Amino acid sequence: MYTDLFLYFLFSSFALLASLMVISLSNAVHSVLFLILVFCNIAGLLLLLGAEFLSFMLLIVYVGAIAVLFLFVVMMLNIKKTSTTLSFFFNRPIGIITFSILFNQLLGVFNDFDTFGLKQKDLIWISWITEHNNLTNIQAVGKVFYTKYSFLFILSGLILLVAMLGAIILTMHQRTDVKKQKIELQLNRNFGGSVKFINLRK
């Protein structure tokens, strides 16, 4: 019980600090690396809450694909540090509006407890580690995918394969006006005339 709470507060604090570093750093590469750290901490929180399927999907999709794509684009563009002269009063209205929207959403979550008759005492903390005998989310989703929706799942994989092959074929266009290296002609050349001695006049 106390181990789960300790890990919960640990992941939450690391996610909060990493998210603050994402928006405060001026280096874009460092911001993307801290964004990956935020995703990893949120995945740990979802794993503690028992949503292991969402946790692994967050790691695979966001960390393994989107964050790596962000990092590749940032490093490829080679973004330099630019000195901006924006005043503090220019950013204050945007920050206040964003904070008010998120704070209203948070208050709406707490108000839903009273709407559905849920109180703090009615909430029971169940550790997912002790529930290893029950059916997990990954097993439930796998059974649904490979039994009821197996045809649609395989069809979507086939469509993605065709799209990937089409993108490869469209980008591999052959140009005829480009001189290419022919290894067989270079190996069959006459080595006698490859070196010439020239007498230079003094």
- Compute the distance between CA of residue 35 and CA of residue 72 in angstroms, rounded to an integer: 14
* Chain centroid to CA 24: 20
* Chain centroid to CA 194: 54
Which pLDDT tens digit goes with each residue over 25-62?
Answer: 878 888 888 988 999 999 988 888 877 888 888 888 88
Alpha-carbon radius of gyration of the chain: 29
Residue 94 sits at φ, ψ, to 5 deg, of -65, -40
Residue type, 177: D
- pTM of the entire predicted model: 0.57
- Joined together, the tokens standing for residue 84 give 């901006």
List all residues 6 or more positions away from 141 whose beta carbon is below 8 Å from its beta carbon: 53
Nearest C-alpha neighbor of 46 from the set 6, 7, 20, 3: 7
Of the CA atoms within 13 Å of residue 140, those in its CB half-sphere come to 8
Of the CA atoms within 13 Å of residue 21, those in its CB half-sphere come to 16
Q: What is the CATH number that goes with domain 1-134?
A: 1.20.120.1200
Which pLDDT tens digit goes with each residue over 9-31?
Answer: 888 889 989 988 888 887 888 88
Provide the residue ranges of all domains of the chain, joining segments of one domain with +: 1-134, 137-175
Residue type, 110: F
pLDDT band at 145 (very low <50, low <70, confident <90, very high): confident
Which pLDDT tens digit goes with each residue over 127-137?
Answer: 666 666 777 77
